[in-house]
Structure 1
């Protein structure tokens, strides 16, 4: 991503649904997501738009807990998120 984050700034007593503080991610020597600070407020619709290779999927995977950041902290409704371990489904 290019580091430009556009969001409405307003004061709220409710903690963000998601909060990223200094989050970055690299793989194979390539930076997938430059350091990013982002707060997504609960109850708001948030769009994610960008060119191919700009880090959209990486950001969503970080928010979902599918991957962990190289730097920074991802928080989901307050506490720091940890990588989710996927349970095996038995037939």
Structure 2
């Protein structure tokens, strides 16, 4: 019984650590992966490197991004950080 009482603070720290750090990060990662799988041609996006463009073509694990001056660049689908609203 005394051993359990001694381990209780450590167990409590792990539970708090899970709910404050690990679980929110997993939710965020899941949301990003869902956004990346739902990308469509014509969506305006921002890559991890900060490149702004429009999706010109979609392949299995890659996308072709058209930039404002007509240049097209190919990126991994996982390099998309954010999808901009189509307002």
TM-score norm. by structure 1 comes to: 0.24
Tell me which protein shows more helix as a share of its residues. 2
Structure having greater relative contact order (Cα 8 Å, sep ≥ 6): 1
Instruction: Give 1 or 2 for the bigger CA radius of gyration.
Output: 2
